[in-house]
Structure 1
Amino acid sequence: MTAVRPSLRVEKRLLGAGRVTVIGMDEVGRGAIAGPVGVGVAAVTIDVGRVPQGLADSKLLSAARRTDLVPVVTRWARTAVGMASAEYVDRQGIVPALGAAGAQALESLVAGGLSLDGAVVVLDGSFDWLTRAVPASLRPPTDPLEVVVQVKADRDCASVAAASIVAKVARDALMIAAHDEAPHYAWASNKGYGSTAHYDAIRTVGAHALHRKSWLHQASSVSLDGFDALVG
């Protein structure tokens, strides 16, 4: 698949309208049945350099290319990744988990010295799952943190594409590390998504602590005969 080259058109429009910082934000692992959901952020300001060569939505890049781009992206923008665990997804639901991971990523930016005063978040998608999750301690005292949602922002907006890359690489690394402990789930290859090998392993050995148990009960893409006995 040919990668679509993202631009800074949206970011420069927001900066030209008076925003001090534009923070691209994207999630990874939303549809997985195991592992955390992750949210990446990449913050740029008016002095942002040219879009790094080869930058694209993480889904359009090979694993090797994504890994190669991480140091490039982290020099180009201020980045961070937040995670919400599978247990959190089970307990609170996926939308609150996305919000918690996004707030954690913003908190990491602030801890690294970035001010959210005058900032705007460009969030990939059509639904704002972030605003309600941002704690009062992170909200700028004089100017509310604005969130702009945009469909296909991970494809079109350079800051969001950068966020997608750092989040994808970080989450994949966690799942590959978890594979060493539980190789029968094939997490090194499926990264926690519901592949045939993954479901076969659940049938054989049961669910792992990293599985989203509530999601497994709702799984419909593969027949899981006797599944309730494995995860009940």
Structure 2
Amino acid sequence: MEKQSIQAIKQAIEAGVSNQALDALRKDERKGVQTLIRRYDKEVARKKQLHADHERRLTYERAAYGKGAQLIAGVDEVGRGPLAGPVVASAVILPKDVFLPGLRDSKQLSFAQREQFYHVIQDQALAIGIGVVEAARIDEINILNASIEAMKRAIDDLSESPDYLLVDAVSLHYKNIAEDAIIKGDDHSVSIAAASVIAKVTRDRMMQSFHETYPYYGFAKNQGYGTKEHLEGLASHGPSPIHRFSFQPVKNAT
């Protein structure tokens, strides 16, 4: 292989080469070959780290399986902080042998990564539930209670009945289902991370749709959070029907 061109070696590495061939390439003094080897080693290290992170995010799932659980639902919500729009929760039951390297808290993923994982999760999940609590209900019962209500609705929306819940941050004490409330659960549990992605993408798409109806606030970009553009829209046009009137900036605009 050492006599091949740099391009041919690059293609061979991408196709997969033996350790023996790699050892030979490491002795090749050509600068281009050494650049390829460094890239290869970096990619191997990246994949190894992703695998290790994935294994770490299965800790709570494995503990639940060890207690006899069969169907574990990760539960998370998005949209507590915005001034407008609903709070959206998701419950996701993944197969026991799930392998989703790179999946983590949706806020740490790019738009493209979230979209990719959204479709992968849709394909692999045993069941997905969605719970939505609208702004008027948030005003009625407050955002914390609305978030809990959205999570319970998401669990009820599942096509399979879970026997264990892994919930981000809060305890639900719902229908006598065993549960673990995990601080920063979307970074410590693959099931909660999956729910985080489904909830985030679902809500972002809803806000995109709301933007078409109420274009003054920049919902497509800010998802209802209190950005400068959003606050300027509130000041000039007043609140829309999907604003949370119990939130102070919206109160100030009425």
TM-score, L = length of structure 2: 0.74
Give the aligned length.
202
Is it true that 1:184 corresponds to 2:184 in the alignment?
Answer: no
Residue 64 (structure 1) shift = 1.8
Match of 2:99 in 1: 51
SS of the equivalent of 1:49 reads coil
Match of 2:156 in 1: 107
Equivalent of 2:145, from 80, 96, 102? 96
Is the 1:40–1:167 Cα contact (8 Å) retained in structure 2?
Answer: yes
Match of 1:42 in 2: 92
Is it true that 1:214 corresponds to 2:253 in the alignment?
Answer: no
Equivalent of 1:33, from 58, 63, 83? 83
Alpha-carbon distance in 1 for matches of 2:154, 2:232: 34
Alpha-carbon distance in 2 for matches of 1:75, 1:181: 31
Q: Which amino acid aligns with 1:124?
A: D
Match of 2:186 in 1: 154
Q: Tell me, which stretches of 5 or more residues in structure 1 are unaligned?
A: none
Q: Which amino acid aligns with 2:161?
A: S
Q: Which amino acid aligns with 2:107?
A: K
Q: Tell me, which stretches of 5 or more residues in structure 2 are unaligned?
A: 1-48
SS of the equivalent of 1:183 reads coil
Match of 1:22 in 2: 72
SS of the equivalent of 1:32 reads coil
What are the within-5 Å matches in structure 2 for residues 194-205 of structure 1? 194-205=226-237
Q: Which amino acid aligns with 1:79?
A: I
Is the 2:90–2:155 Cα contact (8 Å) retained in structure 1?
Answer: no
Alpha-carbon distance in 2 for matches of 1:5, 1:207: 43
Equivalent of 1:86, from 110, 117, 135? 135
SS of the equivalent of 2:216 reads helix
Provide Cα deviations, 1:154-178, integer angstroms capped at 9, x if missing partner: 0111000000000000000000011
Is the 1:33–1:194 Cα contact (8 Å) retained in structure 2?
Answer: yes
Alpha-carbon distance in 2 for matches of 1:79, 1:20: 16
Alpha-carbon distance in 1 for matches of 2:213, 2:53: 38
Match of 2:28 in 1: none
Residue 213 (structure 1) shift = 0.5
Provide Cα deviations, 1:58-115, integer angstroms capped at 9, x if missing partner: 0001112111111211222222221100000001111221122112111110xx2x12
SS of the equivalent of 2:239 reads coil
Is it true that 1:12 corresponds to 2:65 in the alignment?
Answer: no
TM-score, L = length of structure 1: 0.81
What are the within-5 Å matches in structure 2 for residues 128-143 of structure 1? 128=171, 130-131=172-173, 134=174, 139=175
Work out which structure has the larger RCO, using CA pairs closer than 8 Å and 6 or more positions apart in sequence: 1
Q: Which amino acid aligns with 1:87?
A: A
